[in-house]
Amino acid sequence: MEAMQALVKKTAIGLVIVLFAVKGISQTDTTGAATLTLKQCVDRALSNNIPVKQTGLLADAAKADWQQAKANLLPDVNGSWGYGWNQGRAIDPFTNTYINQQFASSNVGVNAGITLFSGLQLQNLIKQTGYAYRASEMEWQQSKDKLTLDVILAYLTILNNEDTWRIMSEQMEVTRRQVERMEILVEKGVNGSYLLSDLKGQMASDEINTITAYNALQTAILQLSQLMNIPYNKNIQLERISEGTLLEVYPATAEQVYASSLENLAQVKAVDLRAKSAAKSLSVAKSGYYPSLRLNGSLNSNYSSVSSSLSPTTVTEVETGDYITINNIKNPVLTQQQNYAPQKISYNTQMKNNVGTYVGLSLNIPIFNNLRVTTNVKKAKLNSRYAAYEAEQTKVVLKQNIEKSHQDMISAYEKYKALLEQVNQYKESFRSAEIRFNLGTIVSTEYLITKNNYDRARLNLTQTWYEYIFRTRILDFYQGKLSL
């Protein structure tokens, strides 16, 4: 009798704990936890997920490479300016002669050049980086699609676990009422205590199952919170999905899903674009076999502090060596002579006067370069073949996954229909068994077997329904038409 009382006390305490947990999660969170829809969960995950952001940055970097490849077709223009001091023997940049004195010099120039031909290297590089950029965008989309699918799975797992917890709670409540009824009958001596022990053992099992379901629910909530990168809130509220959406088997065949995936799935587009990019990399490498032609031009000027020019100063009279005889007297013939003095030329004047230009073509013909081009071409061929195999293997695995997912969907649908009938039958069987047990016409063992069959069928039906929903979402994902 004491052992029975201890069991009753222990079970009652456990039941109170479970009921408080149930109450806490069933009530609407009054601390500000609003009901979240599936789309809100996905949007929040996409905006907060760091790996998705990193993949987006890789796409931005690939875009920058593509833009640079296009800019390589433009000419390059560079300016230069220098100013310095010379001491000792040096060349005067103005006279181009050696002088041995201290002076300052300066030079300024603009140089420009453009590649006219390089074996179509620049054009192929634009295509190669363009494919790589588009592939990066598809890989970014692929990462977002995968995260979306993970969020959907976590979302459905929470709903599934909520329903499982609800069913477990209902099971425990039914058993609890039978325990209370049996306790009264035992006290009155109508039934034996062994019947009460059977029911209390069942209630303990229901309690364990309810606690397990509650913990599974909290684990699922934690996983969804981590995917959304938000703080864990055990009272999170999610919008329910109506079971009325399950009307018929998925309309598309596995072959139709696969054909659609080849056109719409970001993963397929990404590997195809990577293969095209690798093929263009081979064309870029082969351009090293061809000569390159470049047009160059420059505009330069210079300045020297010792540069000077002669400027007129005074006029003097000097004898020419000729004479004029006047009155038998020789008079020398004089002439005026202009005197000059050196005057430094200003910086701006020299820069204007010393301008020089250059225009020329340069042709680079590859003859032997340590087999570097040959090696690059060989590696590019291998990379191109590898990328092609990668694309082919991706499609093979994709087809296998689609076939399996489609078969899993059909299995879930057929299983759901069978379980629906099973639940209806077990429900009627349990209703009848409960009436007979209350009348005392069947023993507790038979009652508990009927109850457990009904409980398991309800759980299996709920889990199979969510499995079907998830399988159809996967097939939608493969077709690139995943809707929220």
Residue 229 and residue 52: Cα distance in Å, rounded? 12
Residue 356 lies in a domain: no
- Edge-to-edge strands of the sheet including 103-117? 76-86, 103-117, 292-304, 356-364
- State residue 303 phi and psi, 5-degree precision: -145, 145
pLDDT at 245: 52
pLDDT at 319: 79
Residue 26 and residue 19: Cα distance in Å, rounded? 10
Residue 234 and residue 215: Cα distance in Å, rounded? 10
The structure tokens 């995968």 sit at 146
Q: Please report how many Cα atoms fall inside a 13 Å half-sphere around the Cα of residue 100, on the Cβ side.
A: 0
Best-predicted range by mean pLDDT among 76-80, 170-174, 413-417? 76-80
Q: Which of 327, 174, 236, 223 is nearest to 40 (CA)?
A: 236
For the cut 90, the answer to whether the pLDDT of residue 452 exceeds it is no
For residue 114, the cross-strand partners are: 295
The pTM (predicted TM-score) of the whole model is 0.78
For 461-472, the pLDDT digits (tens) are: 988 999 998 999
Q: Are 358 and 249 in contact (CB under 8 A)?
A: no
Residue 149 and residue 152: Cα distance in Å, rounded? 5
Domain that holds residue 252: 2-74+118-290+366-478
Residue 18 lies in a domain: yes
Q: How far is CA 65 from the centre of its chain?
A: 17
For the cut 70, the answer to whether the pLDDT of residue 307 exceeds it is yes
**365-386 as b/e: b if 16+ CB within 10 A:** eeeeeeeebeebbeebbebbee
Q: Please report how many Cα atoms fall inside a 13 Å half-sphere around the Cα of residue 293, on the Cβ side.
A: 6
The number of domains in the chain is 1
pLDDT at 247: 57
Mean pLDDT of the residues in the chain: 86
- More confident site: 309 or 233: 233
Tell me whether strands 356-364 and 35-36 are parallel, antiparallel or unpaired.
unpaired
pLDDT at 250: 87
Residue 318 lies in a domain: no
pLDDT at 243: 60
Residue 231 lies in a domain: yes
pLDDT at 171: 84
Q: Which of 419, 425, 4 is nearest to 183 (CA)?
A: 4
Residue 210 lies in a domain: yes
As a whole-number percent, the residues of the chain with pLDDT over 90 amount to 54
For the cut 70, the answer to whether the pLDDT of residue 208 exceeds it is yes
Residue 404 pLDDT grade (very low, low, confident, very high; cuts 50, 70, 90): very high
How far are the Cα atoms of 104, 168, 179, 266, 452 from residue 203, in angstroms, in the given order? 103, 11, 8, 51, 12
For 326-356, the pLDDT digits (tens) are: 888 888 877 888 888 788 888 899 899 899 9
Residue 474 and residue 158: Cα distance in Å, rounded? 17
Average pLDDT over residues 83-112: 85
For the cut 50, the answer to whether the pLDDT of residue 215 exceeds it is yes
For 103-152, the pLDDT digits (tens) are: 888 999 999 999 999 999 999 999 999 999 999 999 999 999 999 999 99
Look up the CATH number of the domain holding residue 370.
Answer: 1.20.1600.10
The structure tokens 């209703």 sit at 431
For 419-435, the pLDDT digits (tens) are: 988 999 988 888 888 88
